[in-house]
Structure formats: C-alpha cells, structure tokens
Structure 1
Amino acid sequence: MIAKIFFSIGALLAIVFIALVFIRVMNEQEVDRIWRSLESSPTSDRFTEDMIAELPAPVQRYFLYSIAPGTPLASSVSLKMSGSFRMAQDKPWIPMQATEILSTKGFVWKARIGSGLFQMIGSDRYTNKSGQMQFSLWGLVPLVNAHSPDITRSSIGRFAGEFFWLPSALLPQRGVSWKAIDEKTIQASLKVDDEPVTLTLFIDANGRLLKLSLPRWGDQTEDGSYTYIPFGGEYQEEKTFRGFTIPSQMRAGWWLGTDRYSEFFRATIEQAEFR
C-alpha cells in the first residue's frame, strides 16, 4: 500500500513537472515570436545634420554626440547586458543577466535574476499596445504573471524611457518635439499609443547624456496605489557601436531626484547591434 502511495505521488509530481516544462517552452516560444516581430531590416537612410538643424542648440549637441553623421538610422537595437537587481530598498542586490530588443514598435527584455536555488527567469515587454511581465522560479514555478492597464501604462514609461539606447527613435522625424530648458537640460515630448510621455535629459557641455528622468506610472507608493512617479537613471560610462554612442553603464530607480529615491537596477551593456 505504501509503495502504491509513493508511486502515485511520484507519478503526480512527474505530470506536474512535465506540465511546467511544457508551459515554459510555450512561453519562451511566444516571447521569441514577439522578439522577431520587433526586429527591423537595415535601412539606407542616414543621419545628417540637416535633420536637427531647426532644433535648439543643446538638443543638436545631444544628437551630434549620440549619432555620428552618416550613421544608418536604426529602428531597433539588440542589447546584451549584465548587472544587478533588488526587489526593494531593504533587499540585497542579486546578479542579473539579460538580453533586450528595443525598437520603435516596442521592447522585450529577457532576464535571469539571481543564482543557485533562487533564480528567476522570465521577461518584461511592451508590444501591440500591451505590457506584460512574466517570471518563474528556475523558469518553471510561476512567480509573476502581470498584465493589466496599469502594467501597460508603466511599460510605456519604460519603453520610451529607454530610447537613450536608440537615439534615432528620438529624432523629430519620429514625431518627437524638443525644447531646451537651459544649456544642459533638454526635454522631449512624444506619444506612445496615445499615452503622452515627457523625457527630461541632462547633458554636459559636449552633449553627453548624464541623466534622464520622466514621470512613470507605478505603484511604489505608501499604500501601493498607482500614480505618476519620478523615474529615471544616471549614466556613468558610454560606448560607441557603429556610429551610435550610448550609455553603457547605468543605475535606475523610482523617485529619482527626491529623498525617497529607490535604486533597484544596475546594468552594463556588453553588446549592442543596431538595425
């Protein structure tokens, strides 16, 4: 009798394991399909100074620093990054490895967070007017599967807020309006699927990006309710990839610029492929 019970439990666990593996494979295939849909073909259009001639001088400096004249105007960039992540201000930093595709149509971030017995595998994405976050323990045991209007609105903030990795997406030809607050503060206004976004970029005298902030929809509040929260990052290093000079080392968090600042993300860009 005991042997039969153990056999039944073992068979049940095997079925559950197979089901979890099947779900993981299906999820990975779906994410890969979305990733491929965001890939773009190389373009023959190239960046020229005439494209930004009507913009304020500080904005021109930013573009001329970020995009070398003659560079093909990419519509997407594929990134490989490493770094660290933490769940909350009082939690420890844990290692992170990720790849991301960022395009003018959306983004997919595929990540492994943590190590050993505690490793989360999953993705964060915004495509087709919808945001979704899915993470599982070891890629098998579901931990997070979040998708709602609030998640979508927050994902839009992340999407637009990462255009510093794809500077060509911020050109006025993409429908972005620019103004200069002062010689080292510039502001971009755009819409993502009817959601208005305002990016404030802080640059040095040469046009190098030092910091970026935006009001991003989030629930990092005392009662967990959603509202627009100052969000953004600071950039310590940069690299040039085929004519694009982008931040290669960054830190980001909620409540940027306030005494409530909560940094949760640190990343170093190891590879960047523009298309």
Structure 2
Amino acid sequence: MELVQHGRIKIGSWRRFWAHQIISGDGYLWASTTRVLGLPVRGYDRLIDGRGDLVHRIAGKIAVVDESGPDVSRSAAGRLVCELCWVPAATLGPDVTWSAVDDDTARVSLDYAGATYDAEFTIDAAGGLRSVRTRRWASLDGQPYRLHEFGAQIHRSGTFGGFTVPQHVTVGYGFGGSEWPAGAFIEIVLDDAVFT
C-alpha cells in the first residue's frame, strides 16, 4: 500500500512535512521532506527484512540523523505493529494474532524478524479506531535505549479504496500518561492511500 501524507513534525520546533510511505506487513519505507533554517531536509525511515534505518539530510549533505543497527531495527519493528492500522489486510496475515483486552480494546501481536511485537487498538462505539498504543524501544533525549509508552491518537478516519483507515493522527511517546501530549512529535494527515 502507498500513503501520501502531510502534517507537522517536531524537529526542535514544529515544522510542516510532506511524505510518501510504502507499507506492508513485512516492512515500510517512509520518505519525507521538511525544512530547517530554510533548507530542505529529505530522507527516509525504513524497515526491510528486519533491518531498520533512519537517514535524513539537510540539502542532501549534512546528516540530521543517520542511524541503523539492532536498536533502530527493534524500534522500527515496534512502529510497524502500530502502523498495521493503515494496512487492514495485513492484520489478517499468518504472522498476526488478535486477542481481546476488554470490550473496547484488542491486542494485535506481530511475529517479525524472530520477535513478537504487541500493540493495543482501542475502538469507539461505532467501530472506528480511536487509538493505538504500545511500548516501543527508543532512545529519547540522548538516553540509552529502553521501552517507552508510545501511541497514536486518531482524530478522524477516512475511506480510501473501500478501506477505512486513520486519516488524521497525532503520534508520540508518553501516550496515555502524564507526558502526553508533550511527547507527541508528529501529526499526520493522510491525503491518499492506494491499496495494491
């Protein structure tokens, strides 16, 4: 599936961004563009074959971020299980299992690259997705990698190609706790989704 997005991303301060994402139950490539000090910042977040990479550069030359390795891969896989909400058909794959948490919440578990990643999807009374949350492996504020509360608040859903998916989402760390919404780092608006 391919997503076309725009929104705001926090890089020091909130900045506008535009992105294209290709996503499946096997991984993703998120290519984005924003601006810092008037200069273009282009790059990608990628998870392919269990390997995660983050590469974003100012004017194609100065690295804003250039990371890979086991910690980045583990963090990227945690992101993937949350982003299954944009790929409804992938949630029915053989590597995905569902279990009830309560009347409004289901746990989705994704077996990926030799590990299992869980997320909780909370549904409203009409059956629409309200939020997604997990504990995601990350290094925040220069601290060592560890698990952090992570999630997405779904403000609005839209229907594309017959599938209803989140269309306006705020994503970040500290989700569901006292650190929210200060831990939010990206607000995404889905402009189009093409299911293949």
Common fold by TM > 0.5: yes
On the 8 A contact 1:95/1:115 being kept in 2, the answer is no
Q: What are structure 2's unaligned runs of at least 5 residues? A: none
CA distance in 1, matches of 2:143, 2:62: 25
The SS at the match of 1:207 is coil
CA distance in 2, matches of 1:214, 1:163: 12
Give the corresponding residue for 2:177: 258
Give the aligned residue type for 1:203: I
Give the corresponding residue for 2:6: 82
CA distance in 1, matches of 2:87, 2:114: 21
Q: What are structure 1's unaligned runs of at least 5 residues? A: 1-76
CA distance in 2, matches of 1:272, 1:242: 7
Q: How does 1:115-154 map to 2 (within 5 A)?
A: 117-154=38-75
On the 8 A contact 1:165/1:247 being kept in 2, the answer is yes
Match of 2:116 among 180, 184, 196: 196
Give TM-score scaled by structure 1 length: 0.67
Larger gyration radius, structure 1 or structure 2:
1
Deviates more, 1:92-101 or 1:255-264: 255-264
Give the aligned residue type for 2:21: E
Give the corresponding residue for 1:273: 194
Deviation at 1:115, TM superposition (A): 5.5
CA distance in 2, matches of 1:175, 1:133: 25
Give the corresponding residue for 1:22: none
Q: Is 2:8 the counterpart of 1:92?
A: no
Deviation at 1:197, TM superposition (A): 0.8
Deviation at 1:225, TM superposition (A): 1.1
The SS at the match of 2:13 is coil
Match of 2:135 among 215, 223, 234: 215
Deviation at 1:204, TM superposition (A): 0.9
Residues 174-217 of structure 1, C-alpha deviation per residue, up to 9 Å, x if partnerless? 33221212211111122111121111011012221000001110
CA distance in 1, matches of 2:98, 2:24: 20
More strand, by proportion: 2
CA distance in 1, matches of 2:79, 2:159: 23
Deviation at 1:106, TM superposition (A): 1.0
Tell me the percent identity.
27
Q: How does 1:1-275 map to 2 (within 5 A)?
A: 77-87=1-11, 91-114=12-35, 117-171=38-92, 173-220=93-140, 224-261=143-180, 262-275=183-196
CA distance in 2, matches of 1:207, 1:200: 15
More helix, by proportion: 1
Equivalenced residues, count? 194
On the 8 A contact 2:52/2:76 being kept in 1, the answer is yes
CA distance in 2, matches of 1:198, 1:92: 31
The SS at the match of 1:161 is helix
Give the aligned residue type for 1:195: A
Give the aligned residue type for 1:250: V
Deviation at 1:96, TM superposition (A): 0.5
CA distance in 1, matches of 2:174, 2:87: 24
Deviation at 1:116, TM superposition (A): 5.9
The SS at the match of 1:162 is helix
The SS at the match of 2:125 is coil
Deviation at 1:117, TM superposition (A): 2.3
CA distance in 1, matches of 2:155, 2:23: 21
